[in-house]
Amino acid sequence: AQKITQTQPGMFVQEKEAVTLDCTYDTSDPSYGLFWYKQPSSGEMIFLIYQGSYDQQNATEGRYSLNFQKARKSANLVISASQLGDSAMYFCAMGSSGGSYIPTFGRGTSLIVHP
């Protein structure tokens, strides 16, 4: 079984500052992938970034980077230079080889960016 835990129900950040959203996971599969999605109030899930369990380097996509610490089973999302449009729900998800890579989602973190 796989499990994703997001312990921060809500986060606040000042515009242009960096913010870290926490995510821990649990799986017994050696091969897995970690995803982060953004969900604005419109409802659509927007893919942000992906990290494979065998990737040696942390994934980066523009202002998004994934701080992957395999031994700690954590996959935190770092958003640099926050923008007002970053205000949304953020979901961490994991898919593993044992589950045919069907993602299991966490409960999400609400991020509010203040001007």
Among 46, 81, 84, 112, binds another protein (CB under 8 A): 46
Nearer to another protein, 81 or 102 (CB): 102
Q: Which listed range, 20-28, 57-65, 72-80, 87-95, lies at the site for another protein (CB under 8 A)?
A: 87-95
**Exactly one of 1, 84, 102, 112 binds another protein (CB under 8 A); which one?**
102
Cβ of residue 99: shortest distance to another protein, in angstroms?
Answer: 8
Residue 33 CB, nearest distance to another protein (Å)?
Answer: 5
Label each residue of the chain as H, E or C: CCEEECCCCEEEEECCCCEEECCEEECCCCCEEEEEEEECCCCCCEEEEEEECCCCCCCEECCEEEEEECCCCEEEEEECCCCHHHCEEEEEEEEEHHHCCCCEECCCEEEEEEC
Contact predicate 16/67, CB 8 Å: no
Which residues lie near another protein (CB under 8 A)?
Answer: 4, 33, 35, 37, 42-47, 50, 52, 91, 93, 95, 100-108
